Amino acid sequence: MATLRELMEATTALEKATMALYACYARVFSADSKLHEFWHSMARDEAGHVGALTLVSTMLEVQGLLDEQSPLPLDDAAIDRLRLMLERERAAARPGLTIQRALAAALEAEESEIEDQVGALLKAVHQDDEYERYQRLLIHDMSDLSYMIETYCEDPALLARCDALVERHAEALHAADRH
């Protein structure tokens, strides 16, 4: 079983890699101000996730809990899948990349088990305010992503996947608000 430190470090590294991918997309689509701003905003939001995880890590460290056993397992397979996908898509992030591919990759990253694991971890270590903030950020990000998919893609299945993700995070936030 992994320690909280190991889980936080692995999760933070993936959030940073996602942020880097979105920053690359902002550069690739810099000729279109709407697309550039969208990707820049997505990268900024990932930076917020990194900051929240860093804050929680610091709070756990101050409490002497960071090297305790994690209440959640470290899913090496899920981490490797997401890391490899992010590396592959970052390598493809150059002029000529279609917006459809970039949006599909963003949805794949946001659908990953890692996003759910971050939420579960925040709940498990009793960081309810950070959990709610994290869910609100995800809903905002996914709503923006849904709008961009609807605007730039003719792929109803991709849009339906994104909308389902928005609903899932909205339900999680609503459940948290009731407690």
Describe the crossing of helices 128-152 and 113-124 by its angle, rounded to 10 degrees: 160
Structure tokens at 18: 């996602």
Confidence class for position 179, pLDDT limits 50, 70, 90: low
pLDDT on residue 174: 82
Rounded CA separation 10/50 (Å): 11
Structure tokens at 168: 């899932």
Going from N- to C-terminal start, the domains of the chain cover 4-178
What's the chain's average pLDDT? 91
pLDDT on residue 132: 84
| pLDDT of 95 over the 90 cut | yes
CATH hierarchy code of domain 4-178: 1.20.1260
Residues 95-108 have a mean pLDDT of 97
Amino acid, res. 69: Q
Higher pLDDT among residues 141 and 87, named by residue: 87
Residues 162-173 have a mean pLDDT of 90
Residues 107-122 have a mean pLDDT of 83
Higher pLDDT among residues 112 and 28, named by residue: 28
Output the DSSP codes for the chain: --BHHHHHHHHHHHHHHHHHHHHHHHHHTTTSHHHHHHHHHHHHHHHHHHHHHHHHHHHHHHTT-TTSBPSS---HHHHHHHHHHHHHHHHH-STT--HHHHHHHHHHHHHSHHHHHHHHHHHHTT-HHHHHHHHHHHHHHHHHHHHHHHHH---HHHHHHHHHHHHHHHHHHHHHHH-
